[in-house]
Amino acid sequence: MSPRSTFSIARRVCATVVISFLAGASVSAGSRPASLRGRDTEVTLAMEPAAGRPDPLRLDIRVRDLAGLTGDSLRRAELAATYVLSGVGIDAVWVLCTPDHEEPRCADPGGPTHVFVSIVAKPTEGAFRSRPRALAIAAVAEGAQGSRVYIVYERVEALARESPEVGASVLLGYVVAHEIGHLLLGSHSHSATGIMQARWFKRELHQVATGGLLFTPSEHIRLHAALLARIQQDGAR
Ligand SMILES: [Zn+2]
């Protein structure tokens, strides 16, 4: 029996929908990744860009925590998400928006290079009720506004409990990176390998713990091109 079939609660990472929305939210400055600690394992991350690679492209991620996560949990999620995205040449600037930490950037409706991530404790959105195994939903924006990601934290925690190696906060960061992959690659962008797989099993959780669940080389090229197009669109507004 394969490892996949013995893993009890494989969950679908996400569903992608296309909607129009009104943007808004709040913020604090992000910083560069250095290391990640899974439940039992610390993974040191090499963040130096390889020689000859193009300069990283900036993507603003504005995170609204509605699940009451600790600062440490949010920091671990940030480290994980920025680590994965840095591997495909994306300089993700993670800005935390909370009701008691308003910044002008949080109220800004954003543009093509902005992603708004809402972390909710339970599946309050109707879209989640009809997708009981989805951890997250990526809402691909129409027009020039920033795109949105919604993540149900209790479902992320449930998946993390399936592995002794992975903490929920690190897994949350990988889910954020997966959803940003959808926003840039399009709604039919699940893959047979890497972080864009639709379902994560024990093997993928081990890869999360060891820093190995990443975008494929092909996705790297397409992500870079898609974000570059958004940056050019943003500059043309
Ligand atoms: Zn997905």
Q: Which of 122, 149, 154 is nearest to 136 (CA)?
A: 149
Are 58 and 113 contacting, i.e. CB atoms less than 8 angstroms apart?
Answer: yes
Q: Give pLDDT tens digits for 102-148.
A: 677 777 777 888 999 999 999 876 677 778 888 998 887 665 466 89
State the distance from the centre of ligand 1 to the C-alpha of 132, rounded, in angstroms.
14
Regarding predicted confidence, which is higher, 115 or 235?
A: 115
Superfamily of domain 5-235: Collagenase (Catalytic Domain) (3.40.390.10)
State the distance from the centre of ligand 1 to the C-alpha of 186, rounded, in angstroms.
10
State the distance from the centre of ligand 1 to the C-alpha of 197, rounded, in angstroms.
7
Model-level pTM? 0.79
Domain residue limits, the chain = 5-235
- pLDDT at res. 131: 80
State the distance from the centre of ligand 1 to the C-alpha of 73, rounded, in angstroms.
22
State the distance from the centre of ligand 1 to the C-alpha of 99, rounded, in angstroms.
29
Are 184 and 227 contacting, i.e. CB atoms less than 8 angstroms apart?
Answer: yes
Are 173 and 35 contacting, i.e. CB atoms less than 8 angstroms apart?
Answer: no
Percent of the chain with pLDDT over 70: 70
State the distance from the centre of ligand 1 to the C-alpha of 181, rounded, in angstroms.
8
- The H helix count followed by the E strand count for the chain is 8, 9
State the distance from the centre of ligand 1 to the C-alpha of 1, rounded, in angstroms.
26
